[in-house]
Chains A and B, each alone.
Chain A
Amino acid sequence: MSYNIKNSQPGNSPAGISSGDKWREWCDRHAGSFFIAPAVTLILIFAIFPTIYSMVFALSRVRFTGDGLQFRYVGFRNFEKQFFGSSEMHFLGRTEPVSILGMIIFAVIVVAVFWWLYRSWKTASWVRMLGRSISAAMAIFLGWILCASLLSGNSIGTLYTTLFYVLFGCAVQFAIGTGLAFLCSQPIRGKNFFRVLFFIPLMVTPLGVGFAMRMIADVTKGPFEPILGLLGLQDWVWSASPWSARFVMVICDSWQWIPFIFICMLAALENVPRDHVEAAQVDGASSFQIFREVTWPQVVPVAVTVLLIRAIEAFKIMDLPNIMTGGGPGSSTESMTLHSVYIWRANDLGSSAAIAYLLLILTVVVCASFFNYVVLGQIRKART
């Protein structure tokens, strides 16, 4: 019995080996890829297929027939409708007339964006420039809609309602969540009790939060009715005014999501080395100075990452406005997700998919920009 012992190592074949050896060597080298290929293929199919299939919907007029779904290709009509057709005001808000203030601020935004692009031109690679150009285009578009609608005294559409929930809501939640986490990281009595207490809302289903908040926020029968009466606000109804309704949505959403920020930031704060803080104390630094110079730089990578995750989640808000106001008054509390759901509910699957795609583009560009220009920047800064 003889054994064919192969002593060659995987990698470049030495001269003179047979083609069979080469093949076996190649297989050895790529064995890892072969083993994971089926799993990766399956995952790609599951991840990509729905995305592509929903694009088919977005480019079609879909009708229900006795034989199933009937697709009629309509090009970008479902998208066009959101910007120029019957849904323009619903999606973008009213963009006419544009005020002088709106025009001035838009001009400032355009100049700032182009200045930023000009500065990047000198240092960035073409790939980065491409990314920055996309971010710049999105910034100019969003800037124009903001200036033409809100800053010109016009109503906003579901696009800016969503951005309001994301930008304002996340800012409020981050500030309060970080503040609570900071308090609970201090040596105070009963902090474990407060940790559990502050964490509970995150465990409640959004549907439950919606119904609970709807009852709590009821100004005629809710628990705050006597207080409003004492303040002379018995006739004030938050659900009748667009902005008060939006603020109530943010308050209710914050109630649920502050715990998420709280728990992540608490973990980050508790991981700040104690000796750094003590060293600063020995040096006579005030509490504020310790937080600003020692604690904050160490938690900032976690903070921006948490903010990014929360922002991605906030773009998808739907349950609260659906349950509390049905998107009203008018469409003032309607997010883009809810907009898509309402249209889907009317079996206009094409328009619904188109709005879902617009939300995807908005989320990807805003969050990728935030990640590239803020998160990575802060992480690099923290490392240096």
Chain B
Amino acid sequence: MQFRRSLLSLAVGAVALVGTAPLSVAGEFDGVTVNILTRPGYVIAGRLVERGVEFQKATGAKIVVTEVPYAEIFPKIQSDWSTGTNSIDVGVFAAGWGVELDAAGLLEDLDPYIAKDDKIDLDDVAPYFREFGQKVGGKTKLLMVDGDFQMVYYRKDVLEAAGQQPPKTWEDYIDVASKIHGTDMNGDGEGDFGSCIFKKRNAQSYFAIQTFAAPIIQTKGTAQGFHFNNGTMKPIINNEGWKKAFELYKETGKYGPPDELNLDIGDTRALFKAGRCGLLVEWGDPGPLQLDDDAAAIKGKLYAISGLGSRTVLNRSTGKLVPAFKSNAPHSVDGINYAPFAAFGGWAGAINKKADQKTKDAAYAFLSYMNQSAQSSVDVTIGATGYNPYRLSQLSSPDLFVAAGMPQELAENYIGAINGALNSLNMASDMKIPGAQKYTSVVLDTQLARYLAGEITVDEALENIEEGWEEITEDFGRDEQIAAQALALGS
């Protein structure tokens, strides 16, 4: 009897529950899981996870973000998609890497999806990112979630106290770093560092060296490039220009942290947030990062310069350095040639062509959601996300960043620096040809690290890079690389 009563009450309860509970509305992508692979840590990946939760609530699609070490992102995606493993549906990686993946026929063409998408507003994406970041061979194969330029930052208070002007050239950078090195920049009574650059091997040091080299090598606009002779794909590396860049880069180490050769970007970020760096080379992140609670020592004090220049430039026919004039460096200003480097090109998402259609639809919808102004204009104001502005609306006024807590003057300086880089006719584009990752993150990075450690001379490093780049070009096919380079630079 007791059992029957219990059973009855259970049945009544269940009916009542079903009757009163709100029925879940089936989302557009209910039951679909989108697997995304990207870098580790909160930077880039963290926001994908957070936005993924919102997206799941809205559409039903489950977003799973897998994080792997930076150096493993590209090979993992390439081997997963190429060998038919297909455990990854979306890769979020450097926009420039898309070229090699697309050459292997691994990327989904996003133009048909964009045609049906009335929310993405790609006209608002800055032309460089829209045309060179998102498109490969004229078709949209990626969607940006971040826009990247490598810039120089300086501690305004420290330079003012030392009576120094912000640097204009890399020689100035070293001069200023030498003057402020050893002074106490955060009030803890200890001497701090004139310069902080992440120089660890197998990390991102190879971007910084290109930031140093670009204004010395590239003088005639973005289409000229600064890695190869575009007509022959012979490397333009074993010359006085790159040699000077290598030497300047190494010299900054005299005014940096003693363990700089073992510092990755996370380490230098911890240092400058603690107020220990007078000058640094970085992407757009330090602007909003100084607003973080743990960056009280530098809040409102870290100003940006879109890029440093060079008073001497490479004469490509002789391989020698010559002074920068309007005749040989048309974009130079007051005898200084500037070439802000679009390092990395920004993080962008691409979809595996072999994923099933429902997953591809959900993946596109999520990437579009990330890219849309409503989301990205919030994300780019939060330093920890790792996302930097790439939409025109984000760069048209400082209001977005002032609203996020940045002082007006600083916000104007910040977007001014990014706009300066973005609008430069001599902006240096990152390598966007098949094998780009190997040319730079393997060959260039290894030889640079060996030179910095004193294992080899600068001449040996440059000879080795030249030889290594030639081997890669031969492997991929010289004619194919010439064509890819022309497409990448719009030449």
Contacts and interface: CB of A to CB of B under 8 A. Distances in A.
A242 B455 contact: yes
Given A237-B258, A346-B438, A330 B75 contact: no
A162 interface: no
B84 interface: yes
Interface stretch (B127-135, B199-207, B222-230, B295-303): B199-207
Nearest to A81: B471
A249 B381 CA distance: 42
B144 interface: no
A75 B470 CA distance: 18
B431 interface: no
Interface string B56-92: 0000000000000001101100110111100000000
A94 B455 CA distance: 8
B201 A327 contact: yes
A86 interface: yes
Given A329-B449, A346-B442, A65 B105 contact: yes
A20 to B, nearest CB: 53
Contact of B261 (A66, A86, A89, A328): A328
Contacts of A328: 200-202, 261-262, 449, 453
Nearest to A328: B201
Interface centre among A69, A81, A219, A346 (most CB of B within 10 A): A346
Contact of A219 (B259, B354, B438, B475): B259
Nearest to B437: A346
B438 A348 contact: yes
Contacts of A94: 455-456, 460
Contacts of B106: 66
Nearest to A322: B202
A68 B84 contact: yes
Interface string A106-136: 0000000000000000000000000000000
Given A219-B259, A345-B75, A348-B438, A329 B82 contact: no
A343 interface: yes
A330 B464 contact: no
B262 A329 contact: yes
B75 A347 contact: yes
A329 B442 contact: no
B446 interface: yes
B261 A68 contact: no
Interface in A334-378: 342-348
B78 A347 contact: yes
B259 to A, nearest CB: 4
A66 B443 contact: no
Given A64-B79, A64-B82, A66-B82, A330 B450 contact: yes
A173 interface: no
Contacts of A236: 258
A326 B453 contact: no
B75 A346 contact: yes
B75 A86 contact: no
A310 interface: no
A133 B257 CA distance: 51
Interface string A226-262: 0000000001110110100000000000000000000
A85 interface: yes
A106 to B, nearest CB: 22
Contacts of A345: 71-72, 75
A152 interface: no
Contacts of A219: 258-259
B201 A331 contact: yes
Interface string B167-193: 000000000000000000000000000
Tell me whether chain B's interface is mostly helix, strand or loop, or mixed: helix
A233 to B, nearest CB: 11
A220 interface: yes
Nearest to B202: A326
B203 A220 contact: no
B467 interface: yes
The size bracket of the interface on A is: 35 or more
Contacts of A65: 82, 104-105
B71 A330 contact: no
Nearest to B205: A328
B353 interface: yes
Nearest to B271: A220
B468 interface: yes
Contacts of B354: 66
Contacts of A155: 450, 454-456
A330 B200 contact: no
A154 to B, nearest CB: 9
A161 B84 CA distance: 38
B258 A332 contact: no
Nearest to A156: B455
A61 interface: yes
Contacts of B438: 346-348
A233 B104 CA distance: 53
A202 to B, nearest CB: 27
A68 B443 CA distance: 25
A343 B442 contact: yes
Interface string B458-486: 00100010011011000100000000000
A342 B451 CA distance: 18
A178 interface: no
B33 interface: no
Nearest to B253: A240
Contacts of B262: 237, 239-240, 325-326, 328-329
Interface in A287-327: 325-327
Interface of B: 71-72, 74-75, 78-79, 81-84, 104-106, 200-203, 257-262, 353-354, 437-438, 441-443, 446, 449-456, 460, 464, 467-468, 470-471, 475
**Interchain residue pairs A-B with the least CB separation, the first 8:** A330-B453, A66-B105, A329-B453, A64-B82, A330-B450, A86-B467, A86-B468, A239-B262
Given A68-B83, A330-B455, 16 more contacts: A63-B104, A64-B78, A68-B84, A69-B83, A86-B464, A90-B446, A155-B450, A220-B257, A239-B259, A242-B454, A329-B452, A342-B71, A344-B75, A346-B442, A347-B74, A347-B438
5 contacts: A86-B464, A89-B460, A219-B258, A345-B71, A346-B438
